[in-house]
Amino acid sequence: MAQIYYEDVEVGAELPTMTKKPTTRQLVKWAGASQDWNELHYDKDAAQKGGLPNVIVQGHLTSSFLTQLVTDWMGEEGFVKKLEVKWKQFHFPGQEVLCKGKVAEKLGENTVLVDIWTEVDGTVYAPHKATVVLP
Amino acid sequence: MSETVPQEALDMVGKDLVPPLTFEVEKGAIRKLAEAIDDPNPLYTDAEYAKKSKYGANIAPLLMVTTLGAPELQAALMTKIPVGPKKNGIVKGFDVEFSQPLKAGDEITVTCKVADISGKEAKMGFMINITTVREFKNQKGEVIARETMAAARW
């Protein structure tokens, strides 16, 4: 895994975009691994009874896509000190979810603030922020 | 008279929403979570690789720690706070501060308190906003993560 250093980071620099295409199989794997058995994530009938067109991607799974984006970028010597999570819209299986990020601020003491978000067809679904300590 | 937050709900501020729970973090559970994300980072799954890293053991994907006790928290948000006849609930978001990674073999105790409750008129009706704080301590009593979650009932 490549290593990035604080002194090399510039405000406005983009993280390499990562693409995810969640499947219902993946949602069930996450349900089992996280022990979150909310039916809205694997039972289409239950989701439709709740007014949704289909099962929805777990918020924590969406956020984990974004933390993968950050941990891949920061390298093994980096450390995520804080994560701020917001979900604006549900993701659905089959969507092509772009995970994007941009360095928002250099905070000093080897710490950077990174804006990270998921996007489908140009619309932002889950805007997060990560505070990352770099070597 | 406009709607207000029931006193019984306000009385929960500062109290445990979920009693402390303890979880043992197994290597296999970390692997399953990493596979569910489809994150091939060898720190999560390759024992030999992780042994040579600065962590000395497999660590977990960042948010695994917050999945510990999460179903209990979700259930308590819907059943343990006396909000009157409000059927709907949603988690709006959360912040997590991390001080060290979750590692294979850790024994994590999760505590969950109600930090704040307030009411607000919204488009969907009178909403009760609930803030919870969860602390995740390892077997040495060190806080490895602290989560502040914003939820609402209406």
Looking at residue B87, what is its pLDDT? Answer: 83
Q: In chain B, where are the structural domains located?
A: 7-26+59-153
Cβ distance B98 to A79 less than 8 Å, yes or no, reads yes
Mean pLDDT of all residues in chain B? 95
Q: Which residues of A touch B148 (CB under 8 A)?
A: none
Task: Give B20-33 pLDDT, tens digit per residue.
Answer: 999 999 999 999 99
Looking at residue B136, what is its pLDDT? Answer: 98
ipTM over 0.85: yes
Q: Residue B149: what are its φ and ψ, rounded to 5°?
A: -115, 140
Q: In chain A, where are the structural domains located?
A: 11-22+57-133
B66 touching A (Cβ < 8 Å)? yes
Q: Which CATH class is domain A11-22+57-133?
A: alpha beta
The residues near A57 (Cβ < 8 Å, ≥ 6 apart) are A22, A27, A41, A90, A91, A92, A93, A95
Q: Which residue type sits at A91?
A: H
Cβ distance A76 to B54 less than 8 Å, yes or no, reads yes
For chain B, what is the total number of helices (H) and then of strands (E)? Answer: 6, 5
Q: Is the pLDDT of residue B3 over 90?
A: no
In this prediction, residue B1 has a pLDDT band, given cuts at 50, 70 and 90, of: low
Q: Which residues of chain A have pLDDT under 50?
A: none
Task: Give B63-95 pLDDT, tens digit per residue.
Answer: 999 999 999 999 999 999 998 888 888 888 999
Q: Which residues of A touch B101 (CB under 8 A)?
A: 79
Looking at residue A71, what is its pLDDT? Answer: 97
Looking at residue B35, what is its pLDDT? Answer: 98
Q: Which CATH class is domain B7-26+59-153?
A: alpha beta
**Exposure of B151 in the CB half-sphere (CA atoms within 13 A):** 24
B67 touching A (Cβ < 8 Å)? yes
